[in-house]
Structure formats: structure tokens, C-alpha cells
Structure 1
Amino acid sequence: MNSKKILGSILLSLAACIWGGMFVVVKIIVEEIHPIQLVFLRYLVAIVFLILFSIIKKEKWHWNTKDFRLIVWIGIIGNAVSIVAQETGTWLSSAQTGSVITSATPTFMVIFAWLILKEKLTRVKIISVVMATIGVMMIVGIHLTGKHVLEGVLSLVGAAFTWALMSVLVKKVKTYSSLQITIMSTCVAIICLLPFSLNNTTALLKINFFEPKIIFCLLYLGAISTALAFVMWNQGLTMVEASSSGLFFLLQPVIGTLLGWLLLNEDISIGFILGTLLILGSVWVSVKFAD
């Protein structure tokens, strides 16, 4: 395994772990802030940190029409539609259900990588996805209870589908850095969500932005889960095959389930350890034997 793949694997793993904690944070705050407005606010926080980082890093900007069009689609599909669908689904279900349903992402990524990037659909990739999916099921199971659970599940499936498509499209951007991709796609998402967020200004004005819980949640979602994790994920995608990189997304249920158990009193299954080992094993198999 070369150093580039190792670094890419680390970046993808860290991003996935951060997003695992995001499910819990969203579950805590989404009762007070509507999902669409929550995504809009997290992007406003994120763009501040992203631009500051770009200035510190002294990024050199340029114009490439083809790549810019791709980034617009990345912002609409991944940053806007996928994240709103994910947080809406988590709102209507639970942090654990959010983790397990979005575990469909690697499967979609393998398919999109095959269709769009012409990556080979190898036996190793298929085995890895199957191992990881079984692992997720063992960790959290499927607890479809609740008044709006069906809407939540459908929303989460849509989130997994669109996130997978976005991640594959990132691989097609050739002339912009991962930080630049993140900044531009975040700006696209802000523009897309602006009219929907301002449609209910009363709800926005009722938010107590000085409340410690809201400050912490917005900082985590904006600075860490969006600004930091998105850059790490986009950078990692450039170092690891798209079809293999999707498996790192499945580290989310491990962290999401553990934190849901610790902080939200959500039940944890007895298959947690075995499921975690299967997920980690699937990632190792994919990275080690994919070439």
C-alpha cells in the first residue's frame, strides 16, 4: 500500500468519524432549528472558516468553465440536496437509523464509479461492500418505529444516493484543489438554500444564538463537520479509488451508534463489536487488495 493511499485512507476515516458524531449533534439541535435552516446556518459558519483557511494557505484561484460546471452540480447534489435530506431523515427517525440507512452510500458509489469513471467492478470491491453492509446491520439493526419513520427512511436513502453521486463527481474535477472545491460547492449550497431559509424568517428570529448548546452545535456542524471534514473527504477522494473510498463512509455508524448510546440513551446492539470489525475489515480488504 503506497503512502498516498495511506494518507487518503486516514483523511477519509477522520472525515467519516466526524460525520458519525454529526448525527448525534443534528438529533440534539434539529428539534429547535428546522433542517433546511440548520443546513443553511452550518454553511454560513463553514464558509467563514473555509475562506480564512484559503487566505492563510494563500490558495491561487483561476477559472475553468468545465470544472466550475461540475462544482455547481456538486454543490446542488451533495451540499444542498444530500445534506438537507440527511438531516431531515435524522429528524424524522433517529441517529442510529440515519447511520444505517446512509450506509447504502458505498454501494451507490461503486455503481456510479463504474458507470461514470469506468472503474472496474472487481470481486474485491463487491466483497468489501457486502462485508461492510453486514457489519452496519449487525451494529444498529433496523428499528423502523415512529410516526414519520417511512418519510425519514426515504429521505435518508435519497441522501445516500445523492452523496454517492457527488463523491464520484468530485473525482472528475481536475484543476481545483479540495479546498477550492469545498468553498465553491458550499457557496452554491448557500445560494440554493437562501430562499427556502428566508421563507420562514420568524423561525430564524426565534433561535437563541447565544445559547451554549446552539453555539456548540453550529460550530461543530459548520467548522468541524463541514469545513474541516468536507476538505478532508474531498482530498481523500483524490487519493483513493471512488469505489473503495465509499467504504470509509461506513465508519459513521460505529461513531454514530456509540455516541447515540452514550449521549442520547439509544439502545446499542450486541453485534456492535462484530459489526465494527467487519466494517474495518472491509475497508482494509478494499484498500489492500483493490489494485
Structure 2
Amino acid sequence: MLLALLATVVWSGSFVATRGMAGTVPPVQAVFWRWIIALVAVAPFAARQAWHQRALIRRHFRYIAVATLFGVTLYNTLVHQAGLTTSASNMGMIMAASPVIMALYARLGGERLGARRTFGMLLAAFGVLLLVGDGSIGFHFGAGDLWMFAAALSFATYSALLKRKPAELGGLAFLITTFALGALMLAPAYAVSLAVQGGFRASTGSVGMLLYVGVLSSAVAFFAWNKAISLIGAARAGVVYYLQPVCVAGLGFLLLGEHTGPAQLLCMALILGGVGLGARR
């Protein structure tokens, strides 16, 4: 549960960083450099294990490629694309749809959710709906919000796929392989982006945000999330993920000066209550 919480908090900050890069770093270029930085960060710890397990990686390459497509290539590209036209708060709140999809995948896979966890999930989901709707069940979605819904579906699919990871394949070997493969998948789109949009001007702000999403949001958070899934399953970890809108709202208040009123506090209380119920065994 603590590993899932660590990943959730770090990813909450990544939405602020992603939004900060909007308009200065093209989405595909931001995601490509994110994984290059992540590769450099994990290589000292993971390269040896990946080399020793290269035969396992070749044997399970099809599974690794599918997991990479949803969790590394598509998900993060969709998030950065959404950051062009929607706020960091909206991004975090819409991503809270992921646990519902994770729970549905778990149920389809034969996992029993239990009454308490189901009620907790529904309570947290209701809080998220109110938070997105500014205190009412009503929605006005823009293009960026729709990109985020696609990102939520992609991330939930990746989380469900993690339960199928071969037990003999080490977590670090899996991580560095997905990072390398994700960068390769993005390379053609990166080349097109350079040709059409040109490169971006590196500044202290853009480099700092790329380092955050590359080292913390990619290397650290993905390792923590993958480990959490292997220990407690996607459905239970997904309940913790409901805390993301609360974390993003808090960061938005502290870093961006976004207003948090009584209605938002009530919604956050519902989310926290639902997470507390759903996280218990």
C-alpha cells in the first residue's frame, strides 16, 4: 500500500510538471526524453539483471511489448497531449477513473472484490465525480479531458497486464526493458516531430521538469507501482490511486495558487473515506 501511495504522490507532481511544459516542449519530444532520462537513471541498478535474464526477455518479448505499448508509449504520450489543453487539476481528477477500470479487469479475471472494497471504490468514485463536476454531477469536457480519459484507459490496461508478468522475470529487468522499448517505439514519432515542429529550447525550467518526470515519475514511481501490483494486485492498488486528485489539488494550491473551497474539501473527504475502506483487507 505504501509503494502504491508513493507512486501516486509522485505521479501527482508529474501532472503539474507536464502542464508546465505545455507550449514549450512538444508532447512526443517530452515523452521521448522522459524515457531516455529514465533509462540513464535505472541503468546502474537494472542493466546487470536485464543482461542475465536476456533469454527470459526474448521468451516473453510479446508480453513485454504489449505492456510497454499501453504503459510507457501510449499512456504518457496521451498525458502530455492532454496537458496542452486542460489543467493539471483536471488531469489528476480524470485519471482517477483508472481504478474503476482496474477493478472491472480484476473482476473479469476472477478476483472477488468484496462488499467493503466495492463500497469504498464507489464512494471514492462518487467523490471524484463531484470534484470533476464542481459539486454537481455534470460534465463539460474539452479535447484535453478526452485525451486524459484515453490515458486513464491505457494506464488501467497496463496495470491489469502487470498481474500477468512472469514471476521469474525480475522487476528491474522488466522496467529497463520497457523503458528502452518505449523509447524505440517513440523514435519514429520523435523524428517526425523534430522535422515538423523543430526542437525545443532547453531552459532551467524545462530541463528540471524533464528530470522530474524522467527520474521520479518514471524510474522511481513505475518501479514502486509495479512492485505494489505484484504484492497486492491492481484492484487494491487502484483504490489508493483515488488519492491522486487530492494530491494534485494540494499541489495546485501550494504551487499554482488554485482555490480549494468547502465543496472541494467535502469531495476530498469522500475520496479519503472510500480509499480507507477499499484499502483494508
Structure-1-length-normalised TM-score: 0.86
Per-residue displacement from partner, 1:96-123 (whole Å, max 9, x unpaired)?
11111111100000111122x3212432
SS in 2 for 1:92: coil
Hey, what's the Cα distance between the residues in 2 that align with 1:138 and 1:279? 10
Hey, what's the Cα distance between the residues in 1 that align with 2:265 and 2:52? 45
Residue in structure 1 matching 2:146, options 146, 150, 154: 154
Residue in structure 1 matching 2:116, options 124, 137, 142: 124
Indicate whether 1:287 and 2:275 are aligned.
no
SS in 2 for 1:176: coil
- 2:97 aligned partner: 104
Per-residue displacement from partner, 1:167-189 (whole Å, max 9, x unpaired)?
01011112222222221111221
Hey, what's the Cα distance between the residues in 2 that align with 1:247 and 1:139? 17
Does structure 2 retain, via aligned residues, the 8 Å contact 1:140–1:257? no
Per-residue displacement from partner, 1:209-257 (whole Å, max 9, x unpaired)?
3x21112101101001101100000011111122111112122211211
Does structure 2 retain, via aligned residues, the 8 Å contact 1:100–1:141? no
Hey, what's the Cα distance between the residues in 2 that align with 1:123 and 1:109? 16
SS in 1 for 2:143: helix
SS in 2 for 1:120: coil
Indicate whether 1:69 and 2:67 are aligned.
no
Does structure 2 retain, via aligned residues, the 8 Å contact 1:90–1:97? no
Indicate whether 1:196 and 2:180 are aligned.
no
Hey, what's the Cα distance between the residues in 2 that align with 1:134 and 1:91? 27
SS in 1 for 2:262: coil
Per-residue displacement from partner, 1:32-67 (whole Å, max 9, x unpaired)?
011111111111100111112225889842423553
Hey, what's the Cα distance between the residues in 2 that align with 1:274 and 1:180? 43
Identity of aligned residues (%): 27
SS in 1 for 2:242: helix
Hey, what's the Cα distance between the residues in 2 that align with 1:79 and 1:57? 20
Does structure 2 retain, via aligned residues, the 8 Å contact 1:30–1:38? no
| TM-fit CA distance, 1:271 | 3.1
Indicate whether 1:254 and 2:246 are aligned.
yes
Indicate whether 1:16 and 2:8 are aligned.
yes
Residue in structure 2 matching 1:48, options 40, 46, 52: 40
RMSD: 2.3
- 2:169 aligned partner: 176
- How many residue pairs match? The answer is 276
Residue in structure 1 matching 2:207, options 215, 220, 231: 215
Structure-2-length-normalised TM-score: 0.89
Gaps (5+ residues) in structure 2? none
Gaps (5+ residues) in structure 1? 1-8
**One-letter code aligned to 1:72:** A
- 1:94 aligned partner: 87
- 2:78 aligned partner: 85
| TM-fit CA distance, 1:207 | 2.2
SS in 1 for 2:201: coil
Residue in structure 1 matching 2:267, options 272, 275, 286: 275
